[in-house]
């Protein structure tokens, strides 16, 4: 049963039966047989399969959550018995926003891997939300609130979104003194999975105040958004975590600070398994500590 559960999780993680087979050294037929056996055992379809893709069913999601919990507990027990309580080893899969990941998270991972040579890291840098259970991800670093109430969250810092531009852009186009002035400016917009971020929110006289912005440039990559701003192509809305160094060095200048919205939290989000492998807990704690100490 444990082997079949591992096969099922690998199918989810790799996105298909053939890819799971290559990962596990099994033929596609063998992978399919193990999946069928698992579905017969639970009396439910765990995956919806088409010629182009697979997706996890509600029953499959429940099985995946339980499988990760059971396998984590078994792995934790084996690690303690075989290697002692101080040994940290094995794979960790995580996801983080592009800018924050490259500038803040990757250096932490490099230090962590240097200290724990038996750990492997699989990092997915994306500005879109990742289905942690469906894709077999141990945890995600995310800004703001998380829409999936089935996930657990650990606050690791405070986040503030701000509007900024390069000194060159502001010299050429002027500094906006009120959110309404953004309608006359070139605004570089971020495209998320739910759509284009073309409505920027502020507070005016203590009340929420939204402004619809426009511009020539939009992208789904936060690093590119910042690069365009640094090159003087317009104003952008960024997390303070992403532009701290640029603000300090004068490469970007914050505008409309008096109208900024409230701060939000920076979270680590993870599936609600009762037991996480020690390596995962250790990395979560390291990221939280290093981000808060500025390392």
| 105: exposed, middle or buried (Cβ count in 10 Å: 0-12, 13-18, 19+) | buried
The pairing of strands 187-192 and 218-219 is parallel
Which domains are present in the chain? 1-84 (1.10.10.10), 88-157+263-295 (3.40.190.10), 161-262 (3.40.190.290)
Residue 144: other Cβ atoms inside 10 A: 12
CA distance 21 to 29: 9
Q: Along the 295 residues of the chain, how does pLDDT read in single tens digits? A: 778 888 888 888 787 888 888 888 888 888 888 888 888 888 888 888 776 778 888 888 888 877 777 777 777 666 655 655 557 888 899 999 998 999 899 999 999 999 999 899 999 999 888 888 778 789 999 987 655 667 888 888 888 899 999 999 999 999 999 999 999 999 999 998 778 999 999 999 989 999 999 999 999 999 999 999 999 999 999 999 899 999 999 999 999 999 988 788 889 998 876 567 888 989 999 999 998 776 5
CA distance to 15, 32, 140, 165, per residue, from 148 (Å): 21, 30, 12, 33
- Only one residue has tokens 């998380």, namely 146
Write down the pLDDT at residue 53. Answer: 73
Beta pairing partners, 96 = 125
Q: For residue 196, which phi and psi values (nearest 5 degrees)?
A: -80, 130
Q: What is the spatial distance between Cα 222 and Cα 190, in angstroms, rounded to a whole number? A: 7
Name the residue among 16, 123, 95 with its Cα closest to residue 270. Answer: 95
Question: How many H helices and E strands in the chain?
Answer: 10, 15
Selection from 252, 163, 173 nearest residue 203 by Cα: 163
Give pLDDT, residue 36.
86
């Amino acid at each position: 049963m444990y082997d079949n559960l591992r096969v099922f999780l690998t199918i989810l993680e790799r996105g298909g039966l053939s890819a799971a087979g290559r990962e596990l050294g099994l033929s596609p037929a063998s992978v399919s047989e193990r999946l069928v056996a698992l579905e017969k055992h639970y009396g439910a379809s765990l995956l919806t399969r088409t010629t182009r893709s697979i997706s996890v069913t509600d029953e499959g999601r429940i099985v995946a959550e339980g499988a990760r919990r059971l396998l984590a507990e078994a792995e934790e027990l084996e690690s303690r018995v075989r290697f002692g309580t101080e040994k940290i080893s094995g794979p960790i899969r995580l996801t983080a926003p592009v800018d924050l990941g490259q500038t803040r998270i990757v250096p932490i991972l490099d230090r962590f891997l240097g200290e724990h040579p038996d750990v492997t890291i699989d990092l997915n840098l994306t500005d879109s939300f990742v289905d942690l259970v469906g894709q077999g991800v141990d945890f995600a670093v995310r800004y703001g609130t998380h829409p999936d109430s089935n996930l657990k969250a650990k606050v690791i810092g405070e986040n503030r979104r701000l509007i900024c531009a390069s000194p060159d852009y502001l010299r050429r186009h002027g500094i906006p003194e009120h959110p309404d002035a953004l309608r006359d400016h070139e605004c570089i917009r971020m495209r998320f999975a739910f759509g284009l971020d073309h409505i920027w929110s502020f507070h005016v006289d203590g009340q929420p105040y939204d402004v619809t912005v426009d511009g020539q440039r939009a992208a789904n990559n936060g690093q590119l958004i910042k690069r365009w701003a640094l090159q003087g192509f317009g104003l952008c809305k960024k997390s303070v975590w992403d532009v701290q160094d640029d603000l300090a060095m004068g490469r970007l200048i914050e505008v409309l600070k008096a109208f900024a919205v409230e701060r939000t939290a920076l979270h680590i989000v993870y599936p609600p398994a009762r037991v996480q492998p020690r390596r995962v807990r250790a990395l979560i704690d390291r990221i939280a500590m290093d981000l808060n100490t500025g390392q």
